[in-house]
């Protein structure tokens, strides 16, 4: 699948739309359309058919209007993509009373991101090295930093922790989505794929030559019914990353107690 890039549109027009500083449409605009409705329709198209299906024409068809009607509200696909991404980022829960201190908060953030990717898998194919600087993306970054604030890390370390969590969840979710799409596109479940290969593997795989991989692969295959299991792998990796962050915080001398959150 082709990767799309955020931040490719006109900066002034994108920011004006993201922050809704200029939302009123011209008189030529269709009365029942709005920026929000166009964005929602675009998200519905991407959710249903993937990012490759997204175009101004496809969104217009989904809304039942002419393509040119959309340009009254959104300049083009580049700006629309920024709006879509910022919009879905606003779906994540951001409770202030999470048990377990910084670790509990980071775990919640990771799980919210995982769930967001399952709802909108197209996000995984949008490169955000130049993120849309909208209100929801900004609020998300603020919330994630606040989760670790007061734990004794420097500002740069806090930023690195947030990046580490985000990158890990993105990679794990990408693998999970790819696995799900493989079944959809091939019409074969992981278990069916495994058993189709099993007779041939039995002939060529020599346990004496590959003793460890044979043992571990057999155990994993019996446990998961597949070559891998995205959900258990995500859970295992998340806890190990949180363990590592906890170790880092524990190296601070003297230990810096977490400050009460206001």
The mean pLDDT value for 46-71 works out to: 96
Q: Any idea what the CATH number is for the domain that residue 62 is in? A: 1.10.10.60
Kindly state whether residues 164 and 42 are assigned to the same domain: no
Kindly state whether residues 45 and 83 are assigned to the same domain: yes
Kindly state whether residues 115 and 85 are assigned to the same domain: no
Residue 261 is assigned to a structural domain of this protein: no
Which carries the bigger pLDDT value, residue 174 or residue 205? 174
pLDDT in tens, 242-257: 999 999 999 985 555 5
User: Percent of the chain scored above 70 by pLDDT?
Assistant: 92
pLDDT of residue 27: 46
Kindly state whether residues 227 and 113 are assigned to the same domain: yes
pLDDT in tens, 75-112: 999 999 999 999 999 999 899 889 999 999 999 999 99
Q: Are 116 and 72 in contact (CB under 8 A)?
A: no
Kindly state whether residues 229 and 115 are assigned to the same domain: yes
Kindly state whether residues 65 and 112 are assigned to the same domain: no
What total number of domains does the chain contain? 2
**For residue 43, what are the domain limits?**
4-89
Residue 119 is assigned to a structural domain of this protein: yes
Q: Any idea what the CATH number is for the domain that residue 141 is in? A: 1.10.357.10
Residue 256 is assigned to a structural domain of this protein: no
pLDDT in tens, 201-225: 878 888 899 999 989 988 888 888 7
User: Percent of the chain scored above 90 by pLDDT?
Assistant: 68
Kindly state whether residues 148 and 228 are assigned to the same domain: yes
Would the pTM of this model clear 0.75, i.e. be above it? yes
């Amino acid at each position: 699948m082709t990767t799309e890039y955020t931040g490719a549109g006109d900066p002034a027009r994108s920011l004006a739309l993201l922050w809704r500083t200029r939302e009123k449409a011209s008189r030529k605009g269709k009365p029942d359309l709005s920026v929000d409705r166009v964005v929602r329709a675009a998200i519905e198209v991407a959710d249903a058919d993937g990012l490759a299906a997204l175009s101004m024409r496809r969104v217009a068809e989904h809304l039942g209007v002419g393509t040119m009607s959309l340009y009254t509200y959104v300049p083009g696909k580049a700006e629309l993509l920024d709006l879509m991404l910022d919009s879905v980022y606003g779906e994540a829960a951001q409770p202030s009373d999470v048990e377990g201190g910084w670790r509990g908060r980071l775990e919640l953030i990771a799980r919210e991101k995982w769930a967001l990717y399952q709802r909108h898998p197209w996000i995984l194919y949008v490169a955000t090295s130049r993120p849309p600087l909208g209100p929801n993306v900004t609020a998300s970054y603020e919330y994630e930093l606040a989760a670790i604030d007061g734990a004794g890390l420097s500002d740069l370390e806090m930023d690195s922790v947030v990046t580490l969590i985000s990158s890990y969840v993105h990679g794990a979710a990408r693998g999970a989505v790819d696995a799900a799409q493989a079944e959809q596109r091939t019409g074969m479940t992981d278990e069916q794929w495994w058993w189709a290969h099993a007779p041939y593997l039995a002939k060529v795989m020599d346990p004496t030559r590959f003793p460890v991989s044979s043992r571990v692969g057999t155990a994993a295959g019996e446990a998961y019914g597949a070559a891998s299991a995205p959900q258990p792998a995500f859970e295992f990796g998340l806890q190990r990353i949180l363990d590592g962050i906890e170790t880092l915080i524990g190296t601070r001398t003297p230990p810096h107690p977490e400050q009460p959150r206001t």
